[in-house]
Structure 1
Amino acid sequence: MTTRLPAAVLWDMDGTIVDTEPYWMAAEEELVGSFGGTWTHEDAMRLVGSGLWESARIFQEHGVDLDADAIVAWLTERVREQLNEFGLPWRPGARELLEALREASVPTALVTMSVRSMADDVIAAIPFHAFDAIVTGDSVDNAKPHPEPYLVAAAELGVDIADCVAFEDSPTGVASAAAAGAITVGVPNILPLDETPATVLWSSLDGRTVADVAALALSRKASA
């Protein structure tokens, strides 16, 4: 079979590469609680994959008396502290597939709605050069589910988004990548993705190979 590598692979971070969602949820509960409010698991689930500045309004509605920038800074710092304390919680198969793609010379980008300082902490803990471009929540005007983050990543890499494969774990992220035009692989973590516009769903990245990713690019080319 002909091997056709994608023009690039675009990676979400929280919940896709690293399982930091529990860190965010703990920080959210602590923040709301510090203002005398209650933050439930259901509240936290509503925000999975959302932009931080969009989420800030929800915290304000729950009694957090801070402006949006202060909320984003506080949450980010608490998650960074947990990363420093507990380490980088890799999602199954993510590090192995990311490294294999790099060894195959496939361009990669990180497309996360976390801020750059948080992304830099994660990148610094990866023991190889992982990304050719980095798009963060504080570098775009429109957060996921808007297609802008993925379109910016493709533009920075100089590739056609239609020839890119994107990995996402949340409905918001899948919507963003799919709207941009990427081949979108949904890898469910804490939310189901069955009703999303994902091109394909993989139950896990564990055991997935460069050949599996190449097959997605070849399939799109064949159907074009």
Structure 2
Amino acid sequence: MSMRWMVSGSLVAVVAVVSVGCGDEGGPKNPAMTGGGTTTSTGSGGMGGGGGEGGGGVVGPGAACEDFCDHAAELGVCPTESTTCQAQCEAFREVAPWCSAATDAVYACGASAPASSFECENGTPSLLDEACTTERDANLECLFEGPSEGLPDMTADCETHCAAAADLPCAAPDCVQSCLASMADAAPCNGIQAALIRCYAQQPADSYECTQQTPHPGDACAAAAVLAFACQTQNMNVAPR
């Protein structure tokens, strides 16, 4: 399934104030998503070369974050070196672990981008909309629709999530089946739904509560939940191409 996705600055602002990873404190908007304004993604499945300014490819785990933040510091993107850049980058990689290569490609591209491709957002370097567009399109495609090779087996995650919610009045009797169906290849937004369930499965059972007849572990997975809502909303408003 290929869709055209639009991620607005207002969405990024919301994600910025909630946890970037499961249970982590929020920070400024993440350059692996988008800069200010509106970015349109054409939903390309591959990684490809650098779009916009900058280049680079996939590097080892953790190295892309370090290289990106070091490069931004060397360019003097922010008046003072960011104390949250690398932690935020690493946390964002964990939102959907199966998309870490696509996320790394964004940061690797940014690590060779010129100063004109950056802005300082709340003390943290961020890429502008026109920088590394190919990599960011691929990253959003992976986040929303899952990796091209398919999602990992999510059975254990669904079972853990459903077991934690089992005693709540809003728990569905067919929870595991419904959970897995929501992440089927043909299901819209299956990638970010899987990221949400993966995060849910990592939370303690005593944190679960019912909200609008849906069980979830409080606000621990708010970042993934915001992205899932945005994906579902856009899926209703944007026709497949």
Q: What's the TM-score once normalised by structure 1's chain length?
A: 0.28
Q: What's the TM-score once normalised by structure 2's chain length?
A: 0.26
